[in-house]
Amino acid sequence: ETGVTQTPRHLVMGMTNKKSLKCEQHLGHNAMYWYKQSAKKPLELMFVYSLEERVENNSVPSRFSPECPNSSHLFLHLHTLQPEDSALYLCASSRTGGANYGYTFGSGTRLTVV
């Protein structure tokens, strides 16, 4: 257990489904991140929230919609996905400002789009 919890661990969804990924941290961090990890792109930054405001949206298709209701929780809402969206989705958190202490990652959600 790393301090960042992601649910579900595995998800299989059809292209017409709507699902959500959840990330939770209780490390006192004030920034949270979504990464996509696939064989083609090992760590692809999707979204960044700092102090609950989205500060980065890395040209991600609109079928991915993030939500950060508070500094401890981050969601990734999925709808009408494509098979190429199948990947490991990683959440991470960190402190922002001042010296860096790196990111703490969750174990990820393995998403399969059928």
Interface residue with another protein, options 78, 87, 92, 113 (CB under 8 A): 92
Is residue 104 near another protein by the rule CB under 8 A? Answer: yes
> Shortest Cβ distance from residue 55 to another protein (Å)?
9
Tell me which amino acid residue 47 is.
F
Spatial separation of the C-alpha atoms in residues 5 and 21, rounded to whole Å? 11
Cα–Cα dist 34/46, whole Å: 5
105 binds another protein (CB under 8 A): yes
Give the helix ranges, DSSP H, for the chain. none
Cα–Cα distance, 96 to 6 (Å, whole number): 21
Asked if residue 114 binds another protein (CB under 8 A), the reply is: no
Binding piece for another protein, criterion CB under 8 A, among 13-21, 61-69, 78-86, 106-114? 106-114
Q: How many CB atoms lie within 10 A of CB 52?
A: 15
Q: Does the footprint of another protein cover residue 62 (CB under 8 A)?
A: no
Q: Is 8 in the site for another protein (CB under 8 A)?
A: no
* Nearest-angstrom CA–CA distance, 107 and 81: 22
Please give the residue ranges that form the binding site for another protein (CB under 8 A): 2, 4, 6, 33, 42-43, 45, 48, 56, 90, 92, 94, 96-100, 102-108, 110
